[in-house]
Amino acid sequence: YDKKIGQTISIVLDDEGVMRPNASPELVKIHKQISNARRELEKEFQKALIQLRKSGMLSDVEESMRNNRRVIGLQSEYKRQVKGIIHDESDTGKTSFIEPQEVVIIQNELFELEREEKRERYRIMEALTAEIAIYKDHFAAYQWLLSVIDMKKAIAKYAIQIGGVQPFIDKKQVIQLYNAYHPVLYLLNKKQHKPTIPLQVELNADNRILVISGPNAGGKSVSLKTIGLLQLMAQSGLLIPCADQSSIGVFKKIFCDAGDTQSIEDELSTYSSRLMKMQKFIFHGDKETLILIDEFGTGTDPNAGGAIAESVLDKLNQQQVFGVITTHYANLKVYASNHPGVINGSMLYDEEHLKPTYILESGKPGSSFAFEIAQKSKLPEDVIAKARSLVSEEHIKFEELLKNVRIEKEHLRLREKEFKQHEQQLKQREAELKFELQKAKEKQQQFQIKKLEKADDSIQKMETEFKELLAAFKAAEPAHKQETQQKLKAFINQNKNTNLRNRKSQVRLVEKEIPAGTLQAGMYVKLAGGDEMGLVESVIKDKAIVVFNNMKSTIAISELSLAENPTEENKKPSTTKLLLDKEEEAAPEIDLRGMPKEEAMMELEKFLDSAMMRNVNHVRIIHGKGTGVLRQAVQYILKQHIGVIKHNFESQNMGGDGVTVAIF
């Protein structure tokens, strides 16, 4: 965009495209002269008007404009008494419109100035045009761009007005419209505050052609035009008024035959013209063609017209075209019922009040309700009875069959409604039972938690007593060492069944158990009573191979509980933690290297006591090789510790005699 264009134009024209009063010095001068002339004209005109008013010569219309000149209305009998130019008179001849001589010269001067202004304006525009002519290619591009913007804005504005959405564009030929409206009818009804009945239709490879039947003024033609118009709109890139879940395919050819197509110039009747279209439809029809035919087969003898229509329909069906057809012919309804690819549709009718509902229902043919409508129109009963007698027995039976089908379908609809209500009640009851079951589980969990709290108390007491005995054992004199050792062993034997393993089994009561046969590779689990998460690698009968911190373990499924899938942070290796003790957790090993002997011995005793209290099976003690002072101290403490039953050096590849493994 060249800013110079706008600057050049803005000197002459304002934002509304009106020429500025100061577009040129000459124009300013002319405007000033015009202003002076108009003031002089007003002064002289009012002077003449006052004099004539005093003389009583004015008519009811004192002043007016005639031939673009300001004139005074005089009673016609006085027109010869006033000097000036007579421009016109009223239809009755009682009023004459005169331009007083005093203002003639002034008005002539004003007209001349206005012509000068017009010439100056033309000169200014001519000069401006010449100046910006070099940008004509820019203007052509701008005009094209503005037209595109205007079109897109119009599309968006119209889409908002009609509540348009973009349906799913299917690669296959399909028309699935839900809650669809004819946009013109929708806006018209909206303006009149009237509801518009939505349309539901599904056409696919199994049901390609919809044959719509039903009473006159029941909505058949509107339904056909709605489908065709929305298809064209969607293929043109417009949003259409329908539900979001609607979908359409793209048809390469769309043909329509709707309305009277009689041609005087070609000397064709309505029916002949329609047959010409049928020939065109058959010639071009294929599986990528959509055909719309309103009042199929009409315009000639009903028997012949119905037969030809059925034959054309059969040909189109063989060509696998898609289409929507409206008709009153019974043979076309029968054809749709008996041939794959074609489906009946009917416009529902309120038989009780004898008025259309404008609802399209697929899957069944519709009745014309001719006799019922005739009764509503107050046609004489004898005329209606005579008409019934003239209709063939087969037609009456067919109409009765349609009526019975409608009644049966309505009965099924009511049954389906009742079934859905019962189903909803069952779902509600199921939800209530699930809620009650959940409450029962929560109550059971609360009970188990209370049991665990009691277990906590007893274990804390046991730990306190054990620590006291252990402290007494360590502080005992050599003479009483054996006595305190016996008490400690008696305590251990007495409480060996009341250990953390029992408590862990209690914890499992509130953990997420694994239903039989549901554990699979790739699932995350926890050890019963623990919170370390592991990944199931494989399942073999009642055991699973689980990876904890890059170490595989074969564990009975009964000893596992389900865990939630971890986040990326949770997938990082973590240290095993038991849920059972509130004290500081014992590490699986301790490093004493670099510590003084006395400090190392104190830390080791504390470490061993804590590990034994936590029911750890074994620990690693890193003391290094060095001079052997720490190694000897460790050996001494392990021999004296009540919980250690065995100790030995680690294997060579794991540290050799620089690491001691103690087993409780």
Assigned domain for 599 exists: yes
239 domain-assigned: yes
Instruction: Let me know if residue 453 belongs to a domain.
Output: no
Same domain, 544 and 633: no
- Diameter of the chain measured on Cα atoms: 162
Residue 557 contacts residue 508 (beta carbons within 8 Å): no
* Same domain membership, residue 643 and residue 543: no
Q: Of 542, 563, 578, which residue constitutes the final position of a domain? A: 578
Cα 90–96–97 angle (5° rounding)?
Answer: 100
End position of a domain, from candidates 341, 360, 379: 379
On whether residue 153 sits in a domain, the answer given is no
Verify that 200 and 342 share a domain, yes or no. yes
- Count the domains in the chain: 4
Domain that holds residue 651: 585-664
Provide the angle, in degrees to the nearest 10, between the axes of the packed helices 220-235 and 183-191. Answer: 110
pLDDT value, residue 118: 95
- Residue with the two structure tokens 């294997």: 651
Query: Domain holding 212: CATH number?
Result: 3.40.50.300
Q: How far apart are CA 323 and CA 201, in angstroms?
A: 12
> Which backbone phi and psi does 180 adopt, to 5 degrees?
-95, 150
How remote is the C-alpha of 448 from its chain's centroid?
47
**pLDDT for residue 60:** 83
Answer yes or no: is 145 within a domain.
no
Note whether 645 and 531 are same-domain residues: no
Is the domain of 211 the same as that of 349? yes
Residues 355/358/360/364 CA torsion (nearest 10 deg): 10
**How far apart are the C-alpha atoms of 470 and 462, rounded to whole Å?**
12
pLDDT of residue 384: 74
d(CA 256, CA 240): 20
pLDDT (0 to 100) of residue 316: 95
CATH of the domain at 543: 2.30.30
Which three-class secondary structure string do you get for 111-152? HHHHHHHHHHHHHHHHHHHHHHHHHHHHHHHHHHHHHHHHHH
Instruction: Judge whether 413 lies within some domain.
Output: no
Residue where a domain stops, chosen among 553, 578, 603: 578
**Residue 447 within any structural domain of the chain:** no
With helix as H, strand as E and coil as C, how does 261-279 read?
CCECCCCECHHHHHHHHHH
Q: What is the pLDDT of residues 198-230, one digit of tens each?
A: 999 999 999 999 999 887 778 889 999 999 999
Regarding whether 228 and 82 lie in a shared domain, the answer is no
Same domain, 521 and 657: no
The answer to whether residues 17 and 94 belong to one domain is: yes
Tell me which residue has tokens 């067919």.
Answer: 398
- d(CA 248, CA 497) in angstroms, rounded, equals 73
Strand-by-strand arrangement of the 84-89 sheet: 58-66, 69-75, 95-100, 84-89
Q: Is 90 helix (H, G, I), strand (E, B) or coil?
A: coil
Return the bridge partners of 84, or none: 100
SS (H, E, C) 284-316: HCCCCEEEEECCCCCCCCHHHHHHHHHHHHHHH
pLDDT at residue 404, as a whole number: 67
Residue 410 maps to a domain: no
Q: Return the H-helix or E-strand segment holding 49.
A: helix 25-55
Judgement on whether residues 233 and 366 belong to the same structural domain of the protein? yes
pLDDT of residue 432: 85
CB-CB contact of 68 with 51 (8 Å): no
Find the CATH number of the domain harbouring 106: 1.10.1420.10
The helix (run of H) or strand (run of E) holding residue 610 is: helix 597-613
- What CATH number should be reported for the domain holding residue 661? 3.30.1370.110
Supply the pLDDT for residue 372.
Answer: 67
DSSP letter for each residue of 50-88: HHHHHHT-EEEEEEEEETTEEEEEEEGGGGGGS-EEEEE
Judge if 181 and 81 occupy the same domain: no
Give residues with Cβ within 8 angstroms of 333, minimum separation 6.
Answer: 211, 213, 327, 344, 365
Same domain, 238 and 321: yes
Of the candidates 99, 101, 103, 83, the residue with the CA atom closest to the CA atom of residue 42: 103
Do 656 and 553 share a structural domain? Answer: no
Average pLDDT along the chain, 664 residues, taken 10 residues at a time: 82 92 94 93 87 85 85 85 85 87 88 94 94 89 94 95 95 95 95 93 94 85 95 95 95 87 51 85 94 84 84 94 91 88 88 80 74 72 76 62 67 84 88 82 75 72 76 71 71 58 45 72 77 82 78 74 67 39 53 88 86 76 88 89 83 84 84
